[in-house]
Amino acid sequence: KPPTADCTMAGQRLDLSNLSPSADTPEKQVKQELLDTERKYNKSLTMFVAVLDRFQNQKIIPTPTLDAVNPIRDIRNHSQVLLSRMEEAVKNTPVVQADFGPALMLIRTVTLVYKKYVERFENLATIFRQHEKELPAVSEAMKDLKVKAATELPGVDVSLASLLIMPIQRLPRYKDLFERIVQKSPRHKSDDFKQAMASLCEQIEKMESTIGEVRQVKRTGRMRHRRGSLINREVDCETTLDGSALRVKYTRPASPMSRKPATPREKVVALSHVRSFSREKNRRVLHVHYVPEDGKKDEEKKTITLIAADEAEANAWEADIAKSISAGSIT
């Protein structure tokens, strides 16, 4: 018999009327993930727009380039509306009980803006990378942004390359979260909502396909190879991106203790298992965090540490991987 609001235990009357749904339900997890990631996404976009305003006011970057990146402003404005609607939905209601349907339906109105940005992305990334190398004012603005982000967005990479690719990466994340909300939330199982989300996910897939097939990209550098529990060695490596996997070839150093010779090795990480990137303070070192094939989602993470010749090369390495992930519809 299901419990009522009045129950007794050991002679004591218990009031169950105020108990909230379990905090660990899949429905709450996916809704909270959407809300939390949208907050971080919106704050990053707002910071980027402030930088673009600085470029425009100080006439640092040519007007045609700034006009081409203008969809970022519309994307930021849409994200603000989406976020405010979701926060309104949870204002006086537990997240698990919130109806995100009206908020999510809004995103259909911004697909054309995202489409424009996706089509321009490759050229924009190349142009901005060149400006960052050649124009000291651009580098100075990005340094100021990193100082601000250190307190407002700790742990978030706000390099120019990361900011430019952010909307591209958000599209497959939206698709994944929308599909999970339809699957996990009884409140979003109406035929109209499911059809709308299916249509939206289809549009997102088409936009991603406009990025084009990822060409096989090869880069050389160094990586950290761990032997035993204490020793990290740097070894030469070659990475290859083929659109489905990151392949890292290296030579495992010889072991004087066990007399094992140096042996060629290869790590292969499916792009669908890459979860995040991070950079060390010197900006040359890129950590690629991934989940092993037999890992339980994000519970077990491993890391490949790549070391580029300089920060610009590390930016290019990171952009290659991020672009491959986006084109492969990976969350």
**pLDDT 10s digits, 56-71:** 898 888 888 888 888 8
Q: What is the pLDDT of residue 84?
A: 93
Distance, in Å, from the CA atom of 165 to the CA atom of 206, rounded to the nearest integer, reads 17
Please name which of 330, 323, 271 lies closest in space to residue 122, comparing C-alpha atoms: 323
More confident residue, 177 or 122: 177
Q: What is the pLDDT of residue 325?
A: 67
pTM for this structure? 0.60
Q: How many CB atoms lie within 10 A of CB 188?
A: 19
- Please report, as a single letter, which amino acid is at residue 9: M
**pLDDT 10s digits, 11-53:** 444 333 343 444 568 888 888 989 999 999 999 999 999 999 9
Asked if 318 and 274 count as a contact pair (C-beta separation under 8 A), the reply is no
Q: What is the pLDDT of residue 102?
A: 84
74: which 2 tokens?
């519309």
pLDDT at residue 3 is higher than 80: no
